[in-house]
Amino acid sequence: MIMKHLLTTFILFCFAKTLGAQPAASSNLETQLFNLPDVVFKKIDTPDGFEAAYELKIRQPLDHKHPERGHFYQRVFLTHKGFDRPTVICTEGYERPTNRVYELTSLLKANQLDVEHRYFGESNPETVDYQYLNLEQATADLHHVNEIFREIYKGKWVSTGISKGGQTTIYYRYFYPADVDVAVPYVAPLNQELEEKRIYAFLDTVGTAECRAKIRAEQMRLLKNRQEALTKLQWFAKGAGLKFSYLNFEQAFEYAVLEYPFSFWQLGHDCSKIPDDKVPLDSTLTHFLSVSGLDFFADESMTNYASHYYQAGDEMGYYAYRTEDFKGLLKALPMQPHPSAVFMPGKQPTSFDGELPKKTAAWLDTWGHNFIYINGDSDTWSATAVRPSGKTNSVWFFLPKTSHGGARIKNMTKADREKLVTTLENWLGMEIE
């Protein structure tokens, strides 16, 4: 496997060298990329409005404090606008399989570096050792990318990310406050507990009392009709090719029922679409699966999100599910302790102590300048969003009646967009068209 990895890297390097050597394809950018340390590249399709785009592999130490312990190659997508333009570094929280242009990049007419998170996608070492998956190492990856590309992009830098990527944006600024001029995390929670109680308070107050009652009635109907529901859902799971060994099928069903309100508000579902008890159970199950899918608790999801769950259980915190309203209806999960939404790889124990997020929150309150936080006030994750302290110049936007996927600049009111643009112009010292 090691020889195969080295051969792949060598071929990619040779391909990049060939690209740079062809006069027809040669450019000042490719010449500079070729001369950068720890970078190999290949040309990819260029998004409209940009000059060039490349898929990069950047050599990163497993342990930035002890580079002799080995390395891996991190996937990064570069989209080039111009050497005189600002640069946006996108701090992904998960896999980033293809290039995409963030709205902030388009707004600023900027260059973009979209960085896949370590231990996701193709940014994995040959052997996954979770001791090197922590926020200090992950943000050091971003710092290394920053150091490399400041050689060619010498203007202003902005960091941004969405959801877990937004969390990465926050922690990157905490560990390396001088790397960027502005940080823009979208819908980014800053959890301070393994079982975040602020989420319970949010679910008790979001929306209308009528809507919350309909959500609870949906959960109760599913649990009270568990045998019929399980039989029908087993046929669905078989057709979808879902496998259940990390959780058994009944555990997955109960988890999905408990997850329903969290996902309902996070994804921005319509209360009027919740079926009542007058419709057939099949209709209820169809709605249920559209909100809180069983696939989220199947083996493939556990594998794909193993690194995410490790980070939640180790440093980043997460949430759990209250059970008190379902006494006598849960058969596969315990009433206490509350079932956790963290599914650690290999079912290893969590090691969360809350020290890092609490230190980060305290730093943000006092020293977290030049942040623009964008959240939706109906998104479940807004419950643990960073809130104004009054001690910094940072700016907050909580878009009303907006979910996790809707909290974007394009969905802001005209007044909010103007405020955001003016803020960016002041902090970056540039005019935005």
Residue 383 · residue 395 · CB < 8 Å: no
Beta bridge partners of 182: 158
- CA–CA gap between residue 246 and residue 243 (Å, rounded): 9
Give the pTM.
Answer: 0.93
Cβ proximity of 242 and 294 under 8 Å: yes
Angle, in degrees to the nearest 10, between helices 226-240 and 209-224: 90
Tokens of 113: 């570096």
Interstrand relation of 395-399 and 52-61 (parallel, antiparallel or unpaired): unpaired
So what's the pLDDT on residue 27?
A: 65
CB within 8 A of 185, min separation 6: which ones?
160, 161, 166, 167, 169, 170, 371, 373, 374, 386
50 strand-pairing partners: none
Query: What are the residue boundaries of the structural domains of the chain, listed by start?
Result: 2-192+356-428, 197-347
pLDDT score, position 26: 37
CA distance 365 to 420: 20
- Residue 320 parent element (H or E): none
Residues of the chain under the 70 pLDDT cut: 1-27
Per DSSP, 305 falls in state T
User: What gap in Å lies between CA 349 and CA 82, rounded to an integer?
Assistant: 48
Report the 10 Å Cβ neighbour count for 169.
Answer: 30
DSSP for 136-188 reads HHHHHHHHHHHHHHTTT--S-EEEEEETHHHHHHHHHHHH-TTS-SEEEEES-
Return the pLDDT at 15: 44
Q: Considering only CA atoms, give the Rg of the chain.
A: 23
User: In Å, how far from its chain's centre is CA 13?
Assistant: 30
Which residues 6+ apart lie within 8 Å of 249 measured at CB? 230, 233, 234, 237
Crossing angle between the packed helical segments 249-267 and 197-205, to the nearest 10 degrees: 60
Which SS3 state, helix, strand or coil, does residue 157 take?
strand
Phi then psi for 375, rounded to 5 degrees?
-140, 160
Model pLDDT, residue 189: 98
DSSP secondary structure letters along 338-372? PPBS---GGGPPP---SHHHHHHHHHHHHH--SBE
Pairwise CA distance, residues 232 & 312, whole Å: 33
pLDDT tens digits for range 356-390: 999 999 999 999 999 999 999 999 999 999 999 99
Partners of 395 in the beta sheet? 372
For the domain made up of 2-192+356-428, give the CATH fold.
Rossmann fold (3.40.50)
- In eight-state DSSP terms, residue 117 is P
Distances (CA, A) of 172 to 87, 110, 252, 408: 16, 20, 34, 21
pLDDT score, position 19 = 42
Contact of 267 with 406, CB cutoff 8 Å: no
Task: Spell out where 30-179 has E strands.
Answer: 39-43, 52-61, 71-80, 87-91, 111-115, 157-162
CA distance 268 to 6: 45
